[in-house]
Amino acid sequence: MKVLLTIIVVLYLPVLTAEPISAANNLAAESGLAASQDRVYLLYISRLNCPYCALLKKNVLSPMLNNDSYLAQVELRELSWEGGRVVDFDQQVRMSIKIIRRYLVAGTPTLLFLDESGHELSERMTGYHSEDFYWHYFDKAIKTARGKLLRR
């Protein structure tokens, strides 16, 4: 029993201590606002009880939310597999799972770097194992996405 409790604490403690991420409610409005401020719409696809999602939140996304230089570049929103209805990029209301499937997301966590029309601006990031090199690829994806956004 003690071992089981330890495993539960190790897996879910990051969820309890992570900075909350705003849920995606209106992809059209949120991405439009981000683009008008020269920021990339960063859509974080998550799943409940996903230990890798919890680690990504704790080690990367929450620290990012506390860093003004990142906030000037991206608008972060979370779209959960178990989420409800969301206003899509075309102003139509859809279940979050339909939007996630349209992007052919195969696993979580997945980060999509999007413009105001929902087009991917850089290579998506899928999965999370550790911080080793993750920040490098994360920064590279943001730089690529912002470069394409600013060239329009």
Per-residue pLDDT tens over the stretch 9-52: 444 544 444 568 999 999 999 999 999 999 999 999 999 999 99
Structure tokens at 33: 């606002």
Instruction: Check whether 148 has a pLDDT greater than 60.
Output: yes
Our count of domains for the chain comes to 1
Q: Indicate whether 13 belongs to any domain.
A: no
The CATH number that applies at residue 75 is 3.40.30.10
Instruction: Check whether 75 has a pLDDT greater than 70.
Output: yes
Q: Indicate whether 6 belongs to any domain.
A: no
Cβ within 8 Å of residue 90, ≥6 positions away: 28
Q: Indicate whether 116 belongs to any domain.
A: yes
Rounded distance between C-alpha atoms, residue 87 and residue 130, angstroms? 33
CA 70 distance to own-chain centroid: 13
The closest of 29, 33, 23 to 88, measured between CA atoms, is: 29
Rounded distance between C-alpha atoms, residue 1 and residue 12, angstroms? 17
79-93 pLDDT, tens per residue? 999 999 999 999 999
Q: Indicate whether 112 belongs to any domain.
A: yes
Q: Indicate whether 2 belongs to any domain.
A: no
Q: Indicate whether 123 belongs to any domain.
A: yes
Instruction: Check whether 6 has a pLDDT greater than 70.
Output: no
The closest of 91, 111, 57 to 103, measured between CA atoms, is: 111
**pTM exceeds 0.85 for this model:** yes
For residue 18, which amino acid is it?
A
Give residue 98's domain range: 19-150
Q: Indicate whether 70 belongs to any domain.
A: yes
Rounded percentage of the chain residues whose pLDDT exceeds 70: 88
Residue 135 near residue 67, CB atoms below 8 Å: no
